[in-house]
Structure 1
Amino acid sequence: MTAFMPITLRFCDNKTMLVGSVADAETALRQQWPDKTAPSYLDAARLVRLAIEGTCRPSTAFEAFSKAARQQGIFVARPRSRAHEWLDAAANP
């Protein structure tokens, strides 16, 4: 089971990867990104490293990672499943 809701990334070399944990994010950061000098990428890399060391909350690092992926256009948007719709309907009667 993953620690976070998994996201799919498509890197510059057209490879895809499902990322659902800080450890997965660390692996993904070593792949081909459009701009590894972008501030959001550098911030995500720093926070992921700190989360692995235990000095940063994993949720903070994963959110920074997701933000960097979205900003660089490698985040693959997936439609919400019907299960999400059912859970939303159950949570909001």
Structure 2
Amino acid sequence: MMPPFKAVIFRTTRDYKLPITTLYDVERAMGMSWPDKSADSYRSAACILEQAKLGWCSPRAAFEAFVLAAREQGRIVECRRLKDRVARELASIEPEAIRPERTTSSFGLRRRVRAATPVPARARPY
């Protein structure tokens, strides 16, 4: 089953990280400690959350209001894309760390090269 929303990571004031994917998660995160619960965006998100729970507005609107309030207060952890992480890891590899003796031949893929032995001229069939 897929979550109804694309997951965002909410960071609490105690630096715990929680994935938020459902309206229940939004409600739980809204009840935790925030830097400024008197901010307009927080109060608006709480109001929209209550309306969504009663069925007066869509859960998507409550989720978006929560993300807006959390992002405004620096509570959303921005996830870096996988290729950015891979690029950073590849850039940190030292050239000395690469072992030149490990090649494909060490994995049993070595080609067998026959020594070229010349055939005597007399033994050649015409």
TM-score w.r.t. the length of structure 1 is: 0.82
Q: Displacement, 1:36?
A: 0.5
Give 1:58's aligned amino acid: P
Q: What value does the CA root-mean-square deviation take over the aligned residues? A: 1.2
Where does structure 2 lack aligned partners over 5 or more consecutive residues? 84-126
Runs (4+) off by over 4 Å: none
2:80 maps to 79
TM-score normalised per structure 2: 0.62
Please state how far the C-alpha of 1:23 moved relative to its aligned partner.
1.3
The residue number in structure 2 matching 1:33 is 34
Quick one: distance in 1 between partners of 2:82 and 2:62? Answer: 26
Question: Of the two, which has the highest radius of gyration?
Answer: 2
Structure showing the higher helix proportion among its residues: 1
Identity of aligned residues (%): 38
Distance apart, 1:66 and its partner CA: 0.3
**Equivalent AA in structure 2 for residue 43 of structure 1:** S
**Paired amino acid for 2:52:** A
Instruction: Name 1:18's counterpart in structure 2.
Output: 19
Q: Residue 68 of structure 1 aligns to a residue in which SS? A: helix
The count of corresponding residues between Structure 1 and Structure 2 is 82
Q: Secondary structure at the match of 1:34?
A: coil
The equivalences for 1:53-92 within 5 A come to 53-81=54-82
Report which structure shows greater RCO (CA 8 Å, sep ≥6).
1
How big is each residue's C-alpha offset from its partner over 1:19-45, in whole Å with a ceiling of 9 and x where there is no partner? 011111000001111100000000001
